Structure 1
């Protein structure tokens, strides 16, 4: 039996986006026992679930079913991708999970966690984290600092890079060139302090350097107020997230925006990744609080571009984007094949 955890934030398109390809990697013809979490609402509709899947909103019930399966048969456990906070609660939870992991391994089952990053990676992680990581049959980290903290596993790109436009479509779009005016997709977190007037002045200068206009997008519903404020300040188009728009529909809406843009700027990691997969070169115009954006982009050989130089280097940056995206998807296809080869088959 296959048990997969894909819990995430119900108001964050990036949370369903990054977990959908990870969940797809576990599709081997068997029904999956999928934990989506409490109050998942339309978040779960954007995960690519099958009608055969057994969906759980209660973690306790999911764990109970997992433990029973591990006692009776060969099973596979695939834990969540995304960001983790290595605090006392996380470590206690992982310590309690180790006996179930031992049961699964004893029956030659799989224990997998891929595409994760630590919010604040340190030089050396707690011993419980290292025990946990070394107990897995496959573990991949989406940035090198998280890998160094855990001291076990391997480096691999974020799962969200599997989504978006195919390489042929992107190449054709780049050959055709841009229609005027060129656009920059911009998104800023609503749970941090608002940007200063000095930042707004700098961003307007960046737009002038790029000979571009801005379009403000919201991939996270709680960012709506900040997005509206920013669109007013920049006097530009706004694509927010109304209450009656689902996860799936909002992802389609923001991707349509990204396909119109040459660049993207954000302190939301999965805004930049989703925009990247639609052909947007990432800019460093929004401060990267905590360094998560830079760490995760570096894992697949990418970095943000300075706006003052970006306009002249757009063709080169787009060629690099195609190359890096191809390499990232090839690596993720390899991980998908590895997951499926060891997962109990139908």
Structure 2
């Protein structure tokens, strides 16, 4: 399995842990390539103690040797998430193509969990397509990526399989949460006014939270601008931070973010997800549209205050609509996992 990712991004850890769950028990030995990830990343993934862990690019030749000399019918599982295919990624794609060919020649199975493609360019895209077409399971998390890839099947983002939580009853939920990227410019005064007014109208308190460590300082700035509470990450263990965040989402009516897996976890907890930022990238829009959730993304630079308040004001009907779509997405992912396990078992019998 390829399980790279930054330990400071709980969403990345989440989708890789879910992918690991799909593969657990399908083979006799787990080999995990984690890149430069620290030890805490292994705990975030709940990686089994007996796994062979490969670190850094220097271990790639060993990975290839392990595949070459593995018993027949190995299983190769690539990581979920967004795949950058801009210039400079050709060598990485060639390595994955080589791995795919090796596994197929040995009678094995190649699984590509739901992914998105970012910044496609040639020849990286052509190499990626070649590997995807040679894989038995190739899944994409939105229609536009499926169209670019020209192969494979649409499936919900794997984050939706992270467990639906009942959370608090709607009437007892009391917060509007905000978690924005630290790399974006600070929201303008109209955005701040719209969020404040929506919270006041709904009788909700404002709190900023941190799901990606690099966003911590931005969360502090937003709390000051909004006059809300700031809940940082600080020295909290990442595993505990994830659970603390999920408890916050359990008590929220609305969660505002431009981080996709902040909104995925919020929706799993029964909160209403909203992307309210200038010029949204459409990544969130497309991934949620794939499960039937629409109108959650609003361009704050092109919208008047009334439109911004409208998308932020929570209703139990909207919450119920989102929760039902999330339930169906989770059920679809359960079916996909079972089909994969059945397929692997048939190949390896």
Normalising by structure 1, we get a TM-score of: 0.88
Q: Does 1:261 align with 2:252?
A: yes
Q: Does 1:323 align with 2:324?
A: yes
Q: Does 1:274 align with 2:265?
A: yes
In structure 2, relative to structure 1, the CA distance for the partners of 1:59 and 1:24 (3 Å cut) is: farther
What secondary structure, in the 3-state scheme, does the structure 1 residue paired with 2:276 have? coil
Tell me the equivalent position of 1:23: 20
| Conserved 8 A contact 1:125-1:150 | no
In structure 2, relative to structure 1, the CA distance for the partners of 1:145 and 1:311 (3 Å cut) is: closer
Q: Does 1:9 align with 2:9?
A: no
| Conserved 8 A contact 2:209-2:230 | yes
| Conserved 8 A contact 1:215-1:237 | yes
What secondary structure, in the 3-state scheme, does the structure 2 residue paired with 1:7 have? coil
| Conserved 8 A contact 2:187-2:277 | no
Post-superposition Cα deviations, 1:218-257, rounded to whole Å, max 9, x if no partner, equal: 1111111110011111111111110x21210110111111
CA drift at 1:101:
1.7
Q: How does 1:28-177 map to 2 (within 5 A)?
A: 28=25, 30-73=28-71, 74-120=73-119, 126-166=125-165, 169=166, 173-174=168-169, 177=170
- C-alpha distance in 1, partners of 2:324/2:39? 37
In structure 2, relative to structure 1, the CA distance for the partners of 1:201 and 1:309 (3 Å cut) is: closer
| Conserved 8 A contact 1:70-1:103 | yes
| Conserved 8 A contact 1:37-1:59 | yes
What secondary structure, in the 3-state scheme, does the structure 2 residue paired with 1:279 have? coil
| Conserved 8 A contact 1:28-1:343 | no
- C-alpha distance in 2, partners of 1:154/1:220? 30
2:283 to 280, 289, 292: 292
| Conserved 8 A contact 2:4-2:37 | no
Tell me the equivalent position of 1:217: 209
| Conserved 8 A contact 1:265-1:286 | no
In structure 2, relative to structure 1, the CA distance for the partners of 1:307 and 1:212 (3 Å cut) is: farther
In structure 2, relative to structure 1, the CA distance for the partners of 1:226 and 1:313 (3 Å cut) is: closer
Post-superposition Cα deviations, 1:119-154, rounded to whole Å, max 9, x if no partner, equal: 3469x9943232122111111111111111111111
| Conserved 8 A contact 2:93-2:124 | no
Tell me the equivalent position of 2:302: none
**Structure 1: any 5+ residue segments left out of the alignment?**
none
| Conserved 8 A contact 2:67-2:102 | no
**Structure 2: any 5+ residue segments left out of the alignment?**
297-306
- C-alpha distance in 2, partners of 1:312/1:217? 19
CA drift at 1:281:
0.8
Tell me the equivalent position of 1:179: 172
Moved more, 209-218 or 102-111: 209-218
Q: CA RMSD in A?
A: 2.4
Moved more, 136-145 or 312-321: 312-321
Count how many residue pairs are aligned between Structure 1 and Structure 2: 334
- C-alpha distance in 2, partners of 1:43/1:265? 26
Greater relative contact order (CA < 8 Å, ≥ 6 in sequence): 1
What secondary structure, in the 3-state scheme, does the structure 2 residue paired with 1:101 have? helix
| Conserved 8 A contact 2:179-2:257 | yes
| Conserved 8 A contact 2:6-2:37 | no
- C-alpha distance in 2, partners of 1:189/1:222? 8
CA drift at 1:159:
1.2
In structure 2, relative to structure 1, the CA distance for the partners of 1:72 and 1:164 (3 Å cut) is: closer
- C-alpha distance in 2, partners of 1:207/1:153? 42
Tell me the equivalent position of 1:283: 274
